[in-house]
Amino acid sequence: MIVTLKQHTSLEVCASAIRTCWQSFDKSDNGGEKDRELIDRVGNKFKHASTLEHLFYTFYIQDVSRALLQELARHRIASLSVKSTRYTLKELKNEESFTCKDIQRASKYLVMTGINMVDEMSIIALENLRLVLGTGISNDKAKYCLPESYKTELTWSVNARSLQNFLTLRSDKSALWEIQNLAHALYDALPIDHKYLFNIKTYED
């Protein structure tokens, strides 16, 4: 899994939006400590969380499974643009056949769980998909053979309020293991001066 922060809104923008309510622009320190404290106080402590919606983050997320993508789609206050299987399944057509022992080569296309039986069955499904593609069946029909472990990538844009909700829910140990990893990777990718706005759960091994 690779997570890259492509762009983000400055704290100054969010602080300015909050100061609009009281017309207290003269107290701004251009995203400095006063503005940081204001955002936390109003957005978090006073629970006026709508003010956090002025902060936006856009991430590029690579090498995640379609199983994770389904979980991600449940977070509706966000925008995602996903790698198209209609146009990109052709990359699999020219591969040589896979056996269930070809874990390293298959990992180009699949997220591996580390559980031998699960990973081997995923490789068998990958080989079945490759065979279907080789018959000339269209990608739109062939993609119904995709295993849940098939890798994809996406651009994901989310505001701070929604990201707070995502990180709280998805860093919990009851969440899907892969989306737990994503939650931590997203947090790690945030600008250092923004991290104070977010809580993320950590667990001892």
Read off the pLDDT band of 204 (50, 70, 90).
very low
The mean pLDDT of 51-55, rounded to a whole number, is 93
* 21 vs 124, residue with greater confidence: 124
Catalytic residue among 36, 130, 161, 170: 170
Distance, in Å, from the CA atom of 182 to the CA atom of 176, rounded to the nearest integer, reads: 10
- CA distances (Å), origin 188, targets 126, 155, 176: 32, 17, 19
pLDDT tens-digit map of 148-182: 999 999 999 999 999 999 999 999 999 999 999 99
Q: How high does pLDDT run on average in the chain?
A: 92
170 catalytic, yes or no? yes
pLDDT at 198: 93
Distance, in Å, from the CA atom of 138 to the CA atom of 142, rounded to the nearest integer, reads: 6
Distance, in Å, from the CA atom of 57 to the CA atom of 74, rounded to the nearest integer, reads: 18
Question: Which residue, among 36, 68, 72, has the nearest Cα to 52 in the 3D structure?
Answer: 36
pLDDT at 205: 38
pLDDT tens-digit map of 102-134: 999 999 999 999 999 999 999 999 999 999 999
Instruction: Tell which phi-psi region holds residue 111, choosing left (phi > 0), alpha (psi between -120 and 50) or beta.
Output: beta
pLDDT at 33: 85
Kindly tell me the burial class for residue 155, based on how many C-beta atoms sit within 10 Å of its own C-beta (0-12, 13-18, 19 or more): middle
pLDDT at 104: 95
pLDDT at 121: 96
The mean pLDDT of 182-196, rounded to a whole number, is 96
pLDDT at 52: 93
pLDDT at 12: 93
Kindly list the structural domains of the chain, giving each domain's residue range(s) and its CATH number in brackets, ordered by start: 2-65+68-80+154-197 (3.30.1360.170), 81-151 (no CATH)
Is residue 127 within 8 A of residue 39, CB to CB? The reply is no
pLDDT at 203: 53
